[in-house]
Amino acid sequence: MALAKFAEIKQYILARIESGEWQENDRVPSENQLTEMFSCSRMTARRALTELVESGVLTRTQGLGTFVAGLKSQSSLLNIRNIADEIKERGHGYSVKQIELRKVNATAAIAIALGLQEGNEVFYSVLVHCEQGQPLQLEERFVNPSLIPLYLEQDFSQQTPHEYLSQIAPLTEARHTVEAVMANSQIQQYLQVDATEPCLKIIRRTWSRKGVVSFARLIHPGSKFRLGGHLTFKR
């Protein structure tokens, strides 16, 4: 079955972003240009651009046009963040301890999160990200091997999983939840906290154009970490 025109336009735009042909802040074709390129109505072109804006792939500036958005790491509830960049931006030293990097069989919950069948092999990593030598984040990540086949061959002392995944399968969507948890014995060991330390857990799923890329649990000591955000509302 042929793709609907708006989906074809979205695919066209995403393909050029993922290939690197269009970089962050590059202007994308206007509604009128897309209408001519794809022989469709302006409403169809507008729908394609609007959906990509809403998913964070594009950004629109009134009077100027529509541009490729950036996946910039920020200390925010509203954005994907790279822990290494965050630490370095504070002028502090970043280091990482790789605990595990292997294949595992997906449990029912992990299979659902990655859109796979229970028992399928997935890639699994556990890392502890440190600031000034002190643990700041325990990262437990499950990765879809069909989309990221070389994940287990990476050296995550050189780049974080977030950086690597963003290069191999540029993100088009992310969803996360945040909750407070108490540290179990394993978390206490990795984060060097005691049993009374409250922790902040972020559960995050990320997508590329081809499907779910990863499912991660990110745990931080409550005394060393906080999340923030800023929203601007239009009338």
Query: Is the CB of residue 214 less than 8 Å from the CB of residue 141?
Result: yes
> Using CA atoms, how far apart are residues 146 and 56, in angstroms rounded to an integer?
24
pLDDT averaged over every residue in the chain: 87
Integer Cα distance of 200 and 223 in angstroms: 9
Residue 76 pLDDT > 50, yes or no?
no
DSSP E strands in 74-152: the ranges are 94-105, 121-131, 134-143
Position 183 pLDDT exceeds 50? yes
CB distance 10 to 52 below 8 Å = yes
Average pLDDT estimate for 11-20? 84
**Cβ atoms of residues 144 and 212 within 8 Å:** yes
* Domains of the chain from N-terminus onward: 5-68 (1.10.10.10), 92-221 (3.40.1410.10)
- pLDDT tens-digit readout, 205-233: 999 888 899 999 999 998 877 665 544 44
Segment 131-150 shows an average pLDDT of 95
- pLDDT bracket for residue 86 (50, 70, 90): confident
Name the residue with tokens 């069948």.
Answer: 117
Strand order in the sheet with 198-208: 94-105, 121-131, 134-143, 211-221, 198-208, 173-182
Residue scoring higher pLDDT (77 or 167): 167
Instruction: Assign 11 to helix, strand or coil.
Output: helix
Q: What percent of the chain has pLDDT over 90?
A: 56
pTM of structure: 0.66
